[in-house]
Amino acid sequence: MNGDDGNDSMRDQVSGTSTDQASDSTTDQASDSTMDRVRDNVDRNGPERFEDVDWDAIDAEGRRLTKTRLAAFVACGLYVLTLAYDVLVAGDDATFEISVGLPWSTTESAYVWDVTAVDWLFVASLLVVGFALVPVARNRRLRAYYWRRFRRHRPAVISAWYLLCIFLLGTVGTLFIEPPSLDVAAAYQPPVFLSVEASIPTECVGPVVDGRCRGTWEYPLGTTGEGKGLAALAVFGMRVSMQVGLIATLISVAIATLVGTTAAYAGGWIDEALMRYVDIQQTFPTFFLFLFLAYLYGGSLFVLIVIFGVTGWGGIARIVRSEAIQRRQEQYIAAARASGASTLSVVRRHVVPNVSNSIVTAATLNVPFLVLSEAALSFIGLGDVTLPSWGQTIATGRGDLGTAWWISTVPGLFLFATILAFNFLGDALRDALDPRQEV
Amino acid sequence: MPSGTSLDDCRPTLRGRSRRSFLSLLGLGGAAALAGCSAPESDGTVAEPVEYVEGTATGTRTLNFLSVDDNPAVNRVQLALDGAYAVTPEQEIFPLWADISTDEGRVYTVELRDNLEWGAEYGQMTAEDWIYTITEVFQADPNWAGFPNTGDWRQNGEPIPVEKTGRRSFEIQLQSVDPAFPLRPVMWGAFCMPKALIEQYRPGGDQAGLQQDEEVQTLTYAGNLGPYRFERWERESEFVAVRNDEYYLREVDGVPDEWRDAPYFDSYTYQVVPEGSSRLSALRSGELTATDVPETRVEQLEGVDGIDVKVFPQAFMTSLIYNQRSNGSFYEALREPAVRRALAHAVDKEHIVDDVLRGYGNVAHTFQPTFSQWYADDEVTEYGVGDTYGHERARELLESALDPTPYRYDGDRVVDEDDEQVTLDLVFVQGSQAVQTTAQLVAQEYDAVGLDVEITGKEYGTLVEQHVFNSWQGDGDPPWNAGPYNGGPRDGSVSQDPWDLILGVTFNTYPRTPSATRGFTIERGGINFYGYVPETDFGSLFETATGTVDETERGETLAEIFGALSAEQPFNFLNMGVKIVGYDSAVRGPEEVFGYTWNRNTWRLDSA
Amino acid sequence: MGLKWYTARRVAWAGVVAGVILTVTFVLLELAPDSQLASVQFQAAARGGSADAAAEAYARRRGLDGPLWERYVDYLANLATGDWGWSDTRSQPVGEAILTALPYSLMYTVPAVIASTALGISIGLYSAFNQYTKTDYAATFVAFFGISVPNFWFGILLLLVFAVHLGWVPVLFDAELARTHTFSLANARQLALPVFVLGTSAVAGTMRYTRAEALEYVRATFVKAARAKGVSERRILTRHVLRPTLVPLSTILVGDLLGVVLSASYLVEVVFGIPGLGRLSLEAIRRQDTALVLGTTLVPVFVAVVGNLLQDLAYAVLDPRIDYGDR
């Protein structure tokens, strides 16, 4: 961070970055120093933060085609090719059809995946998020620094691990387990180790002891009124929640960053027009807007994600703009401009990376709101009832709470834990990424 | 408590739920009923009002029956206005305001009672009021009041002539003989408004004025014409009617004894509780006297103290509708009765009734419930039960039935002419758990005979707009047009979005007036959105059935119709729904028969 | 440029916002499929009548006959004279419908907001003073509990436990009682659960802001100076941290809290059967009652616009650094 920081040598001196980083760091350190005395001792040697990722070093390397770049290009290319295949060749048929004999399955199961629009978006989102994390992941010191700051917040660490599990189960896990299927004969089975009056399930799969039906390992978390296993439903619900949360948030973030930085950097009437638009959009209560649009255009997963993504970015855009305006007045921007950098490159190289921590925090807190909104719309009856989302399962099982409490409660607890984890994570990230952040 | 008296005293103790005693111990009192809870009577005995509270999902939109005749509106209006006459479960006319009679089945005479008094100084109800309401509202052209069922009072586009024959009697002159006319929902249950009231709006065709009229919205004109008086209407919350002490039926000779002191409730309330699980909770806690129960929730209430679940037969049929119009992906096959019969073998109707509906429903085989007098066992062919259900059998039948079509079996899957697997789009109406489960079950059963099914749920309105409405897409004008549901011949008139199967659009089967099913079964029927072209000439059969006064001939013709329908399988008749109501076990009166509400004014609460 | 000019501009802008929102809503509603119409037509066709005639009668009754722009201009003209239109699905004027529903909404939102704000501030302060301790996590968990739990599921569960099994509160909301005896024990009892559910869901927002603000001040030089002078912790908390925290906090009550309350109220009102604004708006959308949808849309828009305006004005008056001409 200081002038003698080793990183400097790697920086692209032409763009005048060293100036900006230096000026940036003085303000940061002022607040850091006070904070650090209050908190336990933080590494004083190199309190790097997200903005300090060596974007320019990376860019400089980029011109030489780094491994990361190559990977990104390959991934992107593959993505476009398969997408083209799905749209042009496969059409209505399944995109992938692979017959595999799974070791734990007695029959050979054909693996068929007709990739839907949502799946495509999800894969794209994962790619974008993945490559966005590369600069952080590659910088060991930075990684260690964030980790040290982050791990002080115990619940957030647990939350992060929990969310990672949910994410892996939802993405990878769903590829290997059978989607829950209808079996009315096995309706209302209680979770394993628990029992329920034998008259409640259609037929008791497990043993009936003293007039009470016991749960079995076949359905470890019990079944719904349709005889679908709640364990499988919970796992598939993870995927839906991740899809809703990540894709929609990514769309929001993309639009918000574009609008926010454009408004801040362009100023004048463009700023005025964009922010006036945000004003209007924000005046509509967000949930009301969701409700209204879901009613009008139907509640399929794709439509919901688009609605969430396209209408929910106003708040983030405002944060980005106000952050970007602050940055705009920093000297390094002036220096970059003076040295002939184009507007686009200034925004891309200096403004966006420097507001990224606010974006990350806002995005983390946006995800749980969207996941809950999906559940709420399902409750009101505007979702897609065939979707195996937590919200749908809770909504359909709510009438059975009196007798088969587990139907709504199992996905309810997953939903609760996930939202809670995102909230803890969001707050911890805010603390870790920028302690000065007020809101 | 503001009144200083314990509220529990004025709440009817319908049953000794532990909850109440617990509350009185705490001294908290009941929260639910302050209304009608005035100071104790002077002689010291406290009159306990008997309250009947029915829980519903939605409130009514209006009390103006001239413009809206949906169930919520009619149910509420009926508390204050009896209507012309009722029909008993035995299909007999039970005169209320009026009796209806005929000699030869073409001209009907309506005779009003002599003690019918409007409220709000509109005087006595006379034939004049009826003639005016019928000609100036029901038959008005243009339809200024927005009367929804203009078709009821017209025959072949012409208004049915009505003529005053006395101060309290008038004649309805049909074009042709129709012995079932009194059972049609035309005069049956018909309401009337005072002529002087309608006259204020008729000349200017002031529909908005009528809608917003204070008297219309508070039923002040009802006088002694119904068992209850309008008390208050909190929109989307509650509608309360209180006992009408001047009820005309009490002073009429020759009514059965139980009507003498009717009604037996001091107030009748419709309480809107939007959330289904809250409705059931309120029934359990004793805050509701009655509410509908979905099939999938009945178990919860069985064996609960203080709650009786009653099951009433209904005439609404759930069927799996096949798209035979040319925008389906399997329509060439579905147009073949043999294919439809084969598919009927693939779906286990008993399984649906027993496991999805939990036994609360009846297997259907034709366009008529089994309790209907027109249902003839020996004429009806049954599919999808016992021996006529089986995937092997269905597969064999389907294989041969597919011969004349572009489809065939490739291995164990059905493929089209390009050897592509056939995938059917099943669209179902969202909102009912039973329908949703049935849809998935059908998909499983079809999969077992080699047909892929993709299921999509849609809101009713969206489904109708996208899949049910169809219009002529061919060149020029359609050869004929039977309205938005049947825009012309099935090769040219198709819906906006393609579909193959629809589930959840229920059909009324009209067991009292079975010829009303004509619109569903003939090629040019107003409801035939599925593009069914019958092989039997149903049109002329219906003509015979409607036109004859000979009961035997009528019965035989109708039996033939419903027999032929069961064989042709225009759609897969799955089951007849039932209405399930959970009652406070103190309720006495509701009988588990079709049309059970006709005598609800004689129901009582047995507080013993 | 003076304050008056600034205010005038803001008010004019508020008008523009409301106008744009009304127009968009109006057009969107027009495009939506109408299930009422579908039912009416289906019924008419099933009874052998003409579905087209039924559609015509329906349109006439609902005031949907005539071209879109004509109805739009009519609506705006009426609105200008203070007439919000006639709600056809409730058979009452829209203004009356909103005025009837509003008290029911306020009855549970006001106590919930007050309680959650108090609780949120306390937890936020506590959390800021005890950062990264076990009790901080516990306090944060309490605050996050409400925002994380699916409201409707929680509400139904509470009803089952406290109304059906324990019988402490009634299941049904008695609107008549609430209207006639608003400040009675019985009304408080039936409002207890809705207030609790809504309150818990709003705690997290307030807590988060308080904590962030308080963290700033906990480390501020003046707090350290005070502490060095030997000022008691209690005084530091109330005088030096709470006070400056409350100023920006007051502004979020309008924006963020309004959002939470509005979205939660839909679910809370449906579960508890309260005939308030949330249900009014939901039913209006479901039944496509154009006038009522527009009316119920105007209410939150109005609150948000006025809230923002007041907030800006307060800042403008209080903070001399803000230039009125800028916005």
The reply to whether C132 and C240 lie within a common domain is yes
| Interface check B485 vs C, CB under 8 A | yes
pLDDT band at B581 (very low <50, low <70, confident <90, very high): very high
C63: left (phi over 0), alpha (psi -120 to 50) or beta: left
Cα separation, A88 vs B171, whole angstroms: 69
Q: Which of C83, C103, C118 is the last residue of a domain?
A: C83
Share of chain B above pLDDT 90, in %: 39
The first and second tokens of residue A32, run together, are 């850091």
**Residue B17 pLDDT more than 60?**
no
Same domain, yes or no: C204 and C287: yes
Compare C14 and B364 and report the one with higher pLDDT: B364
Q: How far is CA C200 from the centre of its chain?
A: 15
Q: Is the pLDDT confidence value at A283 over 90?
A: no
- Residue ranges of domains in chain A: 67-167, 230-437
Q: Is the pLDDT of residue B45 over 80?
A: no
Is A182 within 8 Å of B302 when comparing Cβ atoms? no
- C58 and C134: one domain? no
Nearest to C212 by CA among A27, A49, A361, A430: A430
C148/C236 same-domain check: yes
Cα distance between residue B107 and residue B110, in whole Å: 10
Angle at B285 between CA B282 and CA B287, to 5 degrees: 55
Q: Are B440 and A179 in contact (CB under 8 A)?
A: no
Dist. CA C57–CA C37, nearest whole Å = 10
Q: Which of C23, C49, C83 marks a domain boundary?
A: C83
- What span, in angstroms and rounded, lies between the C-alpha atoms of B87 and B78? 14
Q: Report C:133-192 residues touching B (Cβ under 8 A).
A: 156, 159-160, 163-164, 167, 169-172, 174-177, 179-181, 184-187, 189-190
pTM over 0.90: no
Q: Do A155 and C137 touch (CB under 8 A)?
A: yes
% of chain A at pLDDT higher than 70: 76
Task: Provide the 8-state DSSP code for C172.
Answer: S
- Model confidence band, residue C260 (pLDDT cutoffs 50, 70, 90): low
Query: In chain C, which ranges are E strands?
Result: 86-87, 92-93
Record the tokens describing residue C140, joined without a space: 């944060």
Asked whether the predicted pLDDT for residue B31 surpasses 90, the reply is no
Express each pLDDT in B484-525 by its tens digit.
Answer: 888 889 888 999 899 999 999 888 888 888 888 888 999 988
- Which residues are bridge partners to B163 per DSSP? B171
- With cut-offs at 50, 70 and 90, classify the pLDDT of residue B530: very high
C-beta atoms of A285 and C270 within 8 A: no
How far from the centroid of its chain's Cα atoms is residue C26's Cα?
A: 21
Do the Cβ atoms of B440 and A182 come within 8 Å? yes
Name all domains of chain B by residue range, CATH numbers in brackets.
7-79+210-309+580-605 (3.40.190.10), 85-198 (3.90.76.10), 314-579 (3.10.105.10)
pLDDT of A434: 60
Check residue C174 and give its pLDDT.
Answer: 85
What is the pLDDT at residue B35? 36
Rounded mean pLDDT of C173-182? 85
Position A324 scores a pLDDT of 83
Per the CB < 8 Å rule, is A396 touching B433?
A: yes
Query: Are A399 and B458 an interchain contact pair (Cβ–Cβ within 8 Å)?
Result: no
Q: What is the pLDDT of residue B39?
A: 39
Residues of C in contact with A417 (CB under 8 A): 148
pLDDT recorded at residue B152: 85
Q: Which structural domain, as residue segments, surrounds residue C224?
A: 95-318
User: What's the pLDDT at C306?
Assistant: 75
Quickly state the pLDDT bin for B204 (edges 50, 70, 90).
Answer: confident
Q: With CA atoms as reference, report the closest residue to A397 among A384, A380, A411, A387.
A: A411
Q: Which residues of A touch C157 (CB under 8 A)?
A: 401
Contact check, Cβ <8 Å, B444/A92: no
Q: What does the alpha-carbon distance between residue A289 and residue A270 come to, in Å, rounded to a whole number?
A: 25
Number of compact structural domains in chain C:
2
Residue-level pLDDT at B366: 92
Rounded to the nearest integer, the mean pLDDT of chain B is 85
Could you identify the residue written with the tokens 């309290």? Answer: B168
* pLDDT score at B589: 87
Residue A399 and residue B296: Cβ atoms within 8 Å?
yes
Predicted confidence band of residue C316 (pLDDT cuts 50, 70, 90): low
Q: Which residues pair with B443 in a beta bridge?
A: none
- The mean pLDDT value for A113-117 works out to 66
Contact A182 B437 (CB under 8 A): yes
Give the model confidence (pLDDT) of A151-197 as tens digits: 777 888 889 899 999 888 888 888 888 888 888 888 888 888 888 88
Q: Tell me the sheet residues that pair with B243.
A: B228
Residues B312-319: what's their mean pLDDT?
Answer: 91
Q: Quick one: pLDDT band at residue A24, thresholds 50, 70, 90?
A: very low
- Find which of B279, B292, B440 to mutate to test the A interface (most A CBs within 10 Å of its CB): B440
pLDDT tens for each residue of A318-337: 888 888 888 777 777 778 87
Nearest-by-Cβ selection for C90 from B34, B236, B275:
B236
| pLDDT reported for residue B579 | 92
Q: Identify the residue with better confidence: C217 or B25.
A: C217
CA distance A137 to chain C (A): 26
Residue C72 and residue C205 in one domain: no
Last residue of a domain, one of C22, C51, C83: C83
Beta partners for residue B228, in sequence order: B243
Residue C197 sits in the same domain as residue C157: yes
In Å, how far is C296's CA from the nearest CA of chain B?
Answer: 15
> Which two tokens mark C79?
């609105």
Rounded CA gap, C6 and C10, in Å? 6
Q: Hey, which chains touch A, using 3+ CB pairs under 8 Å?
A: B, C
Q: What is the pLDDT of residue C300?
A: 78
Note whether C107 and C191 are within 8 A (CB).
Answer: yes
CA distance A373 to A287: 7
Inter-chain CB pairs, A–B, below 8 Å: 58
CB atoms B356 and A184 under 8 Å? yes
* Residues of C whose CB is below 8 A from B149: 43-44, 47, 49, 54
A269 interfaces chain C, CB cutoff of 8 Å:
no
The residue among A186 and B365 whose pLDDT is bigger is: B365
Predicted confidence band at A2 (pLDDT cuts at 50, 70, 90)?
Answer: very low
What's the pLDDT score for residue B534?
A: 92
Span of A252-256, A279-283, A305-309, B602-606 with lowest mean pLDDT: A279-283
pLDDT for res B441 = 92
A157, C124, C132, C144 from C138: Cα distances, Å: 15, 12, 10, 10
R_g of chain C, CA atoms, integer Å? 25
Our CA-based measurement puts residue C264 at a distance from the nearest CA of chain B, in whole angstroms, of 15
Write out the two tokens for A1. 């961070």
Q: Are residues C42 and C106 in the same domain?
A: no
User: What's the CA gap between B543 and B561, in Å, rounded?
Assistant: 11
- Are B211 and C61 a contacting pair at CB < 8 A? yes
C326 domain-assigned: no
B493 touches chain C (CB under 8 A): no
**Domain co-membership, C147 together with C55:** no
Q: In this structure, which CATH number among 1.10.3720.10, 3.40.228.10, 3.40.50.300, 3.30.70.3450 belongs to the domain A230-437?
A: 1.10.3720.10
Q: Do B437 and A226 touch (CB under 8 A)?
A: yes
Cα–Cα distance between A174 and A237 in angstroms, integer? 10
Give the per-residue pLDDT at A430.
77
Query: Using the beta-carbon criterion (under 8 Å), do A430 and C212 form an inter-chain contact?
Result: yes
- C25 found inside a domain: no
Task: Chain C: give the shortest CA distance to residue B274, in Å.
Answer: 6
* Residue to substitute from B309, B437, B447, B454, interface A, most A β-carbons within 10 A: B437
- Closest to A371 in 3D by CA, of A353, A389, A386, A350: A389
Amino acid letter, C176: E
Among A5-9, A367-371, C9-13, C254-258, which range has the highest average pLDDT?
A367-371
Helix (H) or strand (E) holding B582: strand B572-584
Q: Are residues C126 and C223 in the same domain?
A: yes
Whether B300 and A402 lie within 8 Å, measured CB to CB:
yes
Nearest-CA distance from B310 to chain C in Å? Answer: 22
Cβ of C55 and B484 within 8 Å?
A: yes
Q: Does B452 contact chain A (CB < 8 Å)? A: no
For residue A386, list chain B residues with Cβ-Cβ distance below 8 A. 436, 455-457
Give the pLDDT band of residue A104 (cuts 50, 70, 90): very low
CB contact under 8 A, B300 and A403: yes
Q: Which of C144, C157, C281 sits opposite A288 (nearest CB)?
A: C281
- More confident: C87 or B34: C87
How many CB atoms sit inside 10 A of residue B538's CB?
Answer: 23
- ipTM of the complex model: 0.83
Cβ–Cβ contact B68 with C under 8 A = yes
Q: Are residues C157 and C59 in the same domain?
A: no
Interface contact A41, partner C, CB < 8 A: no
CA distance B443 to B455: 7
Q: Are C171 and C243 members of one domain?
A: yes
